[in-house]
Amino acid sequence: MSLALFWIFSALTLSFGVGVIFFRNPVSSAMSLVMTFIGLAALFVTLDAFFIGVVQVLVYAGAVMVLFLFIIMLLDLRADQRRGVKLAAWTGGGIVVGGFLAVLAKVVFTLPTLQQTKPVLANPAVNDVAQVGFSLFRYFNLPFQVIGVLLLVATVGVVVLSRRELK
């Protein structure tokens, strides 16, 4: 059951991920990206990371995708017209991606420690939001404050970037 769910959701994630790359219309790509994020959220839930799954749906499938679709609408993008195949990009991309996948396959399929299954949790009904929150505020309080400043800077930066020049 667990394995079937894992394969269903990873197939969903990966197939829509391929769709992001191969659709010509940017709106179709953005919709595929939504489905990819939802599949990833389901994978997080299979890993008992409920908080991260919910945050994934809220932030990525919600906020980030609305931003993407809004920009696509604002720029009034058409579907890409076909241009010539970039030979250098295809060969370079093929070499880099193929090399990465080869190294990954070698590592993943030869290390015996990666063949382990999920260890049993001490308490399966653990409240992981409380645990993540405790860890966040107890051990990572300073980074949490810094990330607040980062969000503020990003907001101000976006306003400055998208403001029209007044002369």
Partner 1 sequence: MSDTQDACPPGIPHFPFRISHFPNVPTLANYLVVSGLLFSIGLAGGLLRRNILIIFMGLELMLNAATLSLVAFSRFHLGQDGFPRYDAQVLVFFIITVAAAEVAVGLAIIVALYRARQTTHVEDLDTLKF
8 in Cβ contact with 46 (< 8 Å) = no
Q: Which is nearer to partner 1, 150 or 166 (CB)?
A: 150
65 in Cβ contact with 30 (< 8 Å) = yes
Residue 8 interacting with partner 1 (CB under 8 A):
no
Q: Within positions 97 to 156, which residues make up the interface with partner 1, using CB under 8 A?
A: 97, 100-101, 104-105, 108-119, 121-123, 126, 128, 131-132, 134-136, 139-140, 143, 147, 150-151, 153-155
Residue 72 interacting with partner 1 (CB under 8 A):
yes
Question: 77: Cβ–Cβ under 8 A, 6 or more apart, which residues?
Answer: 26
Q: Which is nearer to partner 1, 111 or 166 (CB)?
A: 111
In the list 21, 125, 142, 166, the residue contacting partner 1 (rule: CB under 8 A) is 21
At its nearest, how many Å lie between partner 1 and the CB of residue 7?
8
Q: Within positions 31 to 70, which residues make up the interface with partner 1, using CB under 8 A?
A: 33, 36-37, 40, 43-44, 46-49, 51-52, 55-56, 59-60, 63-64, 67-68
Helices 128-139 + 141-162 axis angle, to 10: 90
CA nearest 41: which of 25, 29, 52? 52
79 in Cβ contact with 25 (< 8 Å) = yes
Place of tokens 């995708």: 65
